[in-house]
Structure 1
Amino acid sequence: MSFVLAPRNEIKTRVALNIPGDFGKTEKAHIEVTWTRLPVSDKKAITEEFQAGTLNDEDALDRLILNINGCQTPEGEKIAYTSNLLIQLLEEDYIRKALVDEMMALLYGKEALEAIRRKN
């Protein structure tokens, strides 16, 4: 099969969530996130913004996330993705961590993320 050089502007990932419960127990769930796929030059620019302190996690996630599927109300109604939904999700530390980890893996690779975890 031949390789076709064509831009791919978005990518979908499944982000695992460990929802905290009583007595240290967790419930597993996931959301499906559609991300903007960046060329290397844009990844470098984002890295420079992070290092300069001009870009924070919230703004980077808002810039990179195109859609989130899998959120629903307690009554089971689907919740459409908006920037307001992202703000609500980021208020929950277990969701914030999962989204930031996934963003870092997409920007720098899973190996780099694991190396950072080992270092810290």
Structure 2
Amino acid sequence: MSFILKPIDEVSLKLDIKEPCGVGEYKSHDLVVTWVYLPEPELKQLKEEIEAEQKRMMKAAEDLKEGQEMPEPKITDRSMCERLIKNIEGLLTDDGKEIPYQPELIEQLLNMNYVAVPLLEQLGTVISGQAGLEALAKN
């Protein structure tokens, strides 16, 4: 078996959504989320950006004076999803028509806890550099 030495630029992962629909009951839905697959130098830079932002926010919290508000974070779950998600397949309207992916949908998805939790878990997998391994494990 041979291997073509060409980096990939995206990876698609199945996202299992468990929609609550009664006491102890749920409907299972599958989406396919296509993520940007960052090469190692870009992944390292992204991790450094996240770490720097975490330090900035911790410093702001330490320096916060009474009556002051915390500054808005520059990096959020939403901004990271908008930056790294290329496509989501399987989103439907009430009448069953497919909804084409647009980054504006991220906010709606993150406002549904039962979608946000598995989506943000996948985001963590992508940022950790393990998305390619997860895709292989699911095939």
Mapped pair 1:4 → 2:24:
no
Q: Aligned to 1:68, which of 88, 92, 113? A: 88
- Aligned mates of 1:57, 1:90 — CA distance in 2: 8
- Kept after mapping to 2: 8 A contact 1:31/1:68: yes
Flag the structure with more relative contact order, 1 or 2, with Cα contacts below 8 A and sequence separation at least 6: 2
| Equivalent residue, structure 2, for 1:21 | 21
| Equivalent residue, structure 2, for 1:79 | 99
Q: Aligned to 1:103, which of 97, 120, 123? A: 123
Work out the number of aligned pairs and report it. 110
- Aligned mates of 1:20, 1:45 — CA distance in 2: 38
| Equivalent residue, structure 2, for 1:55 | 75
In structure 2, list runs of 5 or more residues that go unmatched: 54-73, 132-139
In structure 1, list runs of 5 or more residues that go unmatched: 111-120
Deviations 1:8-66 (A, max 9, x none): 11111111111112213221111011111101121222222222224221111100000
Provide runs of 4+ in structure 1 moved above 4 Å: none
Secondary structure of the residue that 2:93 maps to in structure 1?
A: coil
User: What is the TM-score with the length of structure 2 in the denominator?
Assistant: 0.73
- Aligned mates of 2:112, 2:120 — CA distance in 1: 12
- Kept after mapping to 2: 8 A contact 1:10/1:35: yes
- Kept after mapping to 2: 8 A contact 1:50/1:56: no
- Kept after mapping to 2: 8 A contact 1:31/1:70: yes
> For residue 88 of structure 1, what is the amino acid of its counterpart?
Q
Indicate the percent of aligned positions where both proteins have the same amino acid. Answer: 31
User: What is the TM-score with the length of structure 1 in the denominator?
Assistant: 0.83
| Equivalent residue, structure 2, for 1:44 | 44
| Equivalent residue, structure 2, for 1:117 | none
Larger Rg: 2
